[in-house]
Amino acid sequence: MIETNRLKIYPASRETMERSIETQTDDELKTAYTEMLNGCLNCPDQWEWYAMWMIESKDGRHIGDLCFKGLSPNGVTEIGYGILDEYQNNGYATEAVKGVLKWAFSHPEVIAVEAEAEAENTASRRVLEKCGFRPNGIIGEEGPRYSISRSSAE
């Protein structure tokens, strides 16, 4: 578990991910959660690199989730994150991303973390910038890609 000033962030169990898939009404999120669970089941020794991570306030309120999208052999991982509407604009995403970056870079095999943010999603782009990510000139499926390396995070 990762703890920040206001948050607890931890990888979800299989049961929690299955429940999230079953109750999800957004097809895109349902697909993403299914991919996460499949990654966990296919690579159980790398559960944390595929699981949905729960973001909770210290008093136990669920405020969002995030994920890593596996860990490549060259030491690069990608993150995605989302904060529930009623908890947005409180700095939770920035706090959560900073917390998981510290965790990711505590693993010596991780050399960089990447993320994508749709061009019109200024809030997400701002979170990435506050956390030290910089555009890397690549356009991914969800928009411009950003990255942060171990050396720039230290």
Model pLDDT for residues 133-150, shown as the tens digit of each residue: 999 988 888 889 999 998
Q: Which two tokens stand for residue 11?
A: 């990888």
Q: What is the per-residue pLDDT for 98? A: 97
CA-to-CA dists, residue 58 to 8, 22, 76, 102, angstroms:
6, 26, 30, 19
Q: What percent of the chain is modeled with pLDDT above 70?
A: 99
Question: Which CATH number, 3.40.630.30, 3.90.650.10, 3.30.70.120, 3.90.740.10, labels domain 2-153?
Answer: 3.40.630.30
Closest by alpha carbon to 10, among 74, 55, 50? Answer: 55
* pLDDT band with cut points at 50, 70 and 90 for residue 28: confident
Length, in residues, of the chain? 154
What amino acid is encoded at 104 in this protein?
A
- pLDDT reading at 154 higher than 90: no
* pLDDT band with cut points at 50, 70 and 90 for residue 29: confident
Q: Taking the domains of the chain in order of start, what are their residue ranges?
A: 2-153
CA-to-CA dists, residue 105 to 18, 71, 99, angstroms:
28, 12, 10
C-beta of residue 148 within 8 angstroms of C-beta of residue 101: yes
- pLDDT reading at 12 higher than 70: yes
C-beta of residue 77 within 8 angstroms of C-beta of residue 51: no
- Which DSSP symbol is given to 42? H
The gap from C-alpha 82 to its chain's centroid, in whole angstroms, comes to: 8
CA-to-CA dists, residue 117 to 83, 127, 139, 144, angstroms:
14, 10, 10, 6
| Mean pLDDT, the chain, whole residue set | 94
pLDDT tens digits for 79-128? 999 999 999 999 999 999 999 999 999 999 999 999 999 889 999 999 99
